[in-house]
A = this chain, B = another copy of it.
Amino acid sequence: MTREELILQIKSKRSFLCVGLDTDINKIPKHLLDLEDPIFEFNKQIINATKDLCVAYKPNIAFYESMGVSGWNSFKKTLDYIPENVFTIADAKRGDIGNTSKMYAKTFFENLNVDAVTVAPYMGSDSVTPFLEFADKWVILLALTSNIGSLDFQNTKNEDGKQLFERVLETSQTWGTDKNMMYVVGANRSEQLSEVREIIPTHFLLVPGVGAQGGSLEEVAKYGMNDECGLLVNSSRGIIYASTEIDFAEKARQEAQKLQFKMDILLSEKGI
């Protein structure tokens, strides 16, 4: 999906919501467990209930991989089921030497046809650039993550006074553009969103951590939104596990709608 198409989706749906499909066999409603593919059945119902309210889905690969071969089948079926006009993100946090990253890129972009893959920056340029060679596909590079461990290295200051995440933002500007790269910035890092926006004013940001992880949507929009929105705000557990009963899809829709309602207002306030 192109940047223009994504922005069009955001404007027409009045939403920049990404729903995280972190589908855990131990957390989904018990009545699904008798079905042939409970993971896919859960995702299907979540997608049916939320596809008009969100612009992206982000399955985290760990949850599918943990189920072995059947998990990969569920993952593939889920991707096939997501409507074409919704952006798909494989949350895989990959990154390896050049020839190996190329292999990962082919897997996700050619075989699975997702729009974007999350990539870790530690191994530098040639671990990331193979993902940028596919038309209308995206790298979403980790910059400032939402977890406690992010403080260990991402904020360490270099000799020149720049924090590691700033260096990642700056250095990666030479690898791609705002048409094929986004960055992960945790919602609980909203106080640093201004610093991020100074370096990358136009890029999209994938923002996890609203909901279960405690980030504020309003703060994220205040410091992170740009003239074309420039945000995909993810909620996983807060939406998909809003209920673990038979009404889970309905409750998921309600949670997604609450966020979409707020997003509509935030977009309007920005004149989008």
Contact = CB atoms under 8 A, between A and B. Distances in A.
A69 B66 contact: no
Contacts of A73: 69
B150 A123 contact: yes
Contact of A152 (B24, B120, B171): B171
Nearest to A106: B66
Interface string A42-69: 0000000000000000001011011011
Interface stretch (A89-97, A222-230, A242-250): A89-97
A149 B120 contact: no
B100 A22 contact: yes
Contact of A124 (B93, B94, B125, B149): B149
Given A97-B146, A111-B68, A153 B128 contact: no
A62 B147 contact: no
A29 interface: no
A128 B94 CA distance: 15
A122 B109 CA distance: 24
Find the residue from A24, A65, A98, A148 having the highest chain B CB count within 10 A.
A65
Interface string A67-105: 011001100100000000000000101111110110110
A174 B203 CA distance: 36
A156 B160 CA distance: 10
A209 to B, nearest CB: 9
Contact of A103 (B62, B125, B171): B62
- Say how many copies of this protein the assembly contains: 2
A241 B39 CA distance: 39
B121 A153 contact: yes
Nearest to A97: B147
A156 to B, nearest CB: 5
Interface in A108-148: 111, 120-128, 142, 145-148
A177 interface: no
A156 B154 contact: no
Interface of A: 22, 24, 60, 62-63, 65-66, 68-69, 72-73, 76, 91, 93-98, 100-101, 103-104, 106-107, 111, 120-128, 142, 145-154, 156-159, 161, 164, 167-168, 171
Interface pairs A-B: 7 shortest CB-CB = A124-B149, A124-B152, A125-B149, A62-B103, A97-B147, A126-B149, A66-B107
23 contacts: A62-B96, A62-B103, A65-B103, A65-B107, A68-B76, A68-B111, A69-B72, A72-B72, A91-B96, A93-B96, A93-B120, A121-B152, A122-B142, A122-B154, A123-B142, A124-B150, A124-B151, A125-B149, A126-B148, A152-B171, A153-B167, A153-B168, A157-B159
